[in-house]
């Protein structure tokens, strides 16, 4: 029997067929039943279909083609703005200008985003999670007109798949699951747990094309290098302190 979760693939290429507004609303409705802190639903999602707006968002996602070739681009935001406005209109004094509240909203948004992907894929659509959203949050916020207390945390491209996507492999369960307490990893554990990933042909090609000795070096020196991480961290922190001022 097919297993959706084991067989799922990330899809980056889409057909010209458009996802209808009705279907999108159904997907968002079902995704909105995901777990949430205190049933506050501290998230919003901006659906972008307009080609010009997609084009303006593309540089913030480093030009990834799925930004523009998808039917609809979904930017999921941690959103305390709506909840604060509701509190103020009901004579309640909100106290959510703090780190705990920001983390709460970000977690709500992440859970919602994952359920949205699952719902969409189980309806025959393809999705791609773009991990670039927090790298250039200020640019995204400007294009989408996000107010204070609304932070973009995830972006999902959505459409009808032009191909089945690629199986990329995952770490074994014993790399992830700890019994009772955290079990730290020995050098032998690391060798065993990452051996399958390192042995993949696409991983070997990745190492060769980047002129590195190991797959880990591709991540530390090329894909997620320290200088870039530090630069984007400053951009994000400056934006967070402006858009979600802490006391």
Instruction: Calculate mean pLDDT across residues 17-28.
Output: 98
Comparing 22-26, 97-101, 195-199, 242-246, which segment has the lowest mean pLDDT? 242-246
Measured in residues, the chain has a length of 247
Residue 246: the pLDDT is 75
Q: What would the pLDDT profile of 37-52 be if each residue is shown by its tens digit? A: 999 999 999 999 999 9
Write down the domain spans for the chain.
Answer: 4-166
Instruction: Calculate mean pLDDT across residues 166-176.
Output: 93
| Cα–Cα dist 17/157, whole Å | 14
CATH architecture, range 4-166: 3-Layer(aba) Sandwich (3.40)
pLDDT, the chain, mean:
96
Residue 136: the pLDDT is 97
Instruction: Calculate mean pLDDT across residues 23-36.
Output: 98
Please report, rounded to a whole number, the percentage of residues in the chain having pLDDT higher than 70.
Answer: 99
How many C-beta neighbours within 10 Å does residue 4 have? 9
Instruction: Calculate mean pLDDT across residues 212-236.
Output: 96
| Cα–Cα dist 77/156, whole Å | 11
Residue 247: the pLDDT is 67
Res. 1: pLDDT tops 50:
no
What separation in angstroms does the CA of 151 have from each of 93, 173, 240?
Answer: 22, 33, 8
Burial 34-71 (b: 16+ CB within 10 A, else e): bebeeebbbbbbbbbeeeeebebbbebbeebebbebbb
Contact 113, 120 (CB under 8 A): no
| Entry pTM | 0.94
Looking up tokens 């042995």 gives 199
Q: What would the pLDDT profile of 85-132 be if each residue is shown by its tens digit? A: 999 999 999 999 999 999 999 999 999 999 999 999 999 999 999 999
């Amino acid at each position: 029997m097919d297993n959706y979760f084991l067989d799922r693939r990330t899809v980056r290429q889409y057909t010209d067929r458009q996802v209808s507004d009705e279907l999108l609303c159904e997907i968002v409705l079902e995704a909105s039943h995901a777990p949430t802190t205190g049933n506050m639903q501290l998230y919003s999602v901006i659906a972008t279909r307009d080609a010009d707006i997609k084009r303006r968002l593309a540089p913030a996602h480093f030009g990834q083609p799925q930004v523009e070739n998808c039917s609809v681009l979904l930017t999921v935001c941690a959103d305390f703005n709506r909840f604060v406005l509701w509190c103020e209109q009901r004579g309640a004094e909100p106290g959510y200008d703090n780190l705990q509240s920001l983390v709460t909203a970000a977690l709500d948004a992440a859970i919602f985003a994952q359920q949205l992907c699952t719902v969409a894929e189980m309806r025959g659509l393809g999705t791609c999670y773009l991990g670039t959203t927090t790298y250039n949050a200020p640019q995204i916020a400007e294009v989408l007109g996000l107010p204070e207390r609304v932070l973009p945390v995830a972006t999902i491209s959505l459409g009808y798949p032009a191909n089945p996507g690629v199986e990329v492999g995952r770490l074994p369960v014993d790399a992830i699951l700890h019994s009772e307490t955290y079990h730290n990893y020995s050098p032998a554990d690391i060798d065993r747990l990452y051996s399958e990933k390192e042995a993949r042909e696409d991983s070997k090609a990745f190492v060769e094309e980047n002129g590195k000795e190991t797959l880990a070096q591709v991540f530390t020196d090329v894909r997620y290098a320290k200088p870039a991480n530090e630069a984007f961290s400053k951009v994000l922190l400056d934006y967070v302190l402006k858009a979600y001022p802490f006391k």
